[in-house]
C-alpha cells in the first residue's frame, strides 16, 4: 500500500473475498490506515508465521487467535520491529537474535495470563502435565522447532514475497 499511496494519494483499492457463498468487499486503503504502517509492514512474516501457504499452521490456533494475541502482546512495538525485520530479507542471525521475543509471544498466545512468566519449555511441560488427552499437537512448539519455523517463515516472507516487490538480489 505504501508504494501505491506514494504514487497516487486518492487511490481506491478493494478486495472481494467469497467464503461459504458469502461475498465480502474490503477497502484496502481503510484497512491500511486503521492498522497502521508498522503492522502492515510486519504482515508478510506474521502471515507465514501464523501458518499459511507453504508454512505449517499451529494445531487449533487460528490466524485470528494469533492476530488477537499480537494486538494484546505487552511488547507489541518490539514484536512489530522483529516481524518487520523478518519480512525484509532477513539473515540467519536475525532469526536467531529474535527468538527470545518470539518465544515470549508464543507463550503469551498459548497460556492464560497467570502462566506468562514461563519460558516456552516450562510452558510445554506444564501444559503436557495438565492435559488429560495425550494429543501432543496441542502443545506449543519446542524452542528448536520454533526457530526452524521462524526460518521457514522468514524465508517465505522476506526472501520470496518482499524480494519480489523490491527486485533486490537475494543473499
Query: What is the structure's pLDDT at 118?
Result: 77
Query: What is the structure's pLDDT at 147?
Result: 92
What is the spatial distance between Cα 104 and Cα 80, in angstroms, rounded to a whole number? 13
The pLDDT tens digits for 72-129 are 999 999 999 999 988 887 788 888 999 999 999 999 988 866 666 778 888 888 888 8
Number of Cα atoms under 13 Å in the Cβ half of residue 76: 12
Beta bridge partners of 26: 15
pTM of this structure: 0.79
What is the spatial distance between Cα 27 and Cα 15, in angstroms, rounded to a whole number? 7
Phi, psi at residue 25, to the nearest 5°? -120, 130
Alpha helices in the chain (DSSP H): 2-7, 28-35, 37-49, 63-72, 76-87, 92-97, 99-110, 120-130, 143-154, 163-166
The winner for highest mean pLDDT among 2-6, 32-36, 80-84, 159-163 is 80-84
The pLDDT tens digits for 139-156 are 888 899 999 998 888 888
The radius of gyration computed from the CA coordinates of the chain, to the nearest angstrom, equals 18
Weakest mean pLDDT among 40-44, 132-136, 151-155: 132-136
Query: What is the structure's pLDDT at 76?
Result: 93
Percent of the chain with pLDDT over 90: 18
Amino acid at each position: 500500500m505504501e508504494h501505491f499511496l506514494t504514487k497516487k494519494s486518492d487511490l481506491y483499492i478493494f478486495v472481494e473475498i467469497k467464503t461459504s457463498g458469502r461475498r465480502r468487499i474490503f477497502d484496502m486503503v481503510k484497512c491500511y490506515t486503521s492498522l497502521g504502517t508498522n503492522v502492515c509492514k510486519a504482515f508478510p512474516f506474521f502471515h507465514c508465521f501464523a501458518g499459511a501457504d507453504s508454512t505449517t499452521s499451529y494445531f487449533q490456533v487460528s490466524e485470528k487467535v494469533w492476530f488477537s494475541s499480537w494486538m494484546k502482546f505487552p511488547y507489541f512495538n518490539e514484536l512489530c520491529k522483529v516481524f518487520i525485520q523478518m519480512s525484509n530479507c532477513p539473515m540467519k542471525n536475525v532469526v536467531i537474535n529474535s527468538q527470545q521475543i518470539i518465544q515470549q509471544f508464543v507463550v503469551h498466545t498459548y497460556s492464560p495470563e497467570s502462566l506468562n512468566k514461563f519460558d516456552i519449555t516450562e510452558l510445554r511441560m506444564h501444559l503436557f502435565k495438565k492435559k488429560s488427552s495425550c494429543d501432543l499437537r496441542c502443545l506449543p512448539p519446542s524452542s528448536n522447532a520454533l526457530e526452524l519455523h521462524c526460518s521457514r517463515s522468514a524465508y517465505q516472507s522476506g526472501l520470496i514475497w518482499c524480494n519480489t516487490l523490491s527486485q533486490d538480489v537475494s543473499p
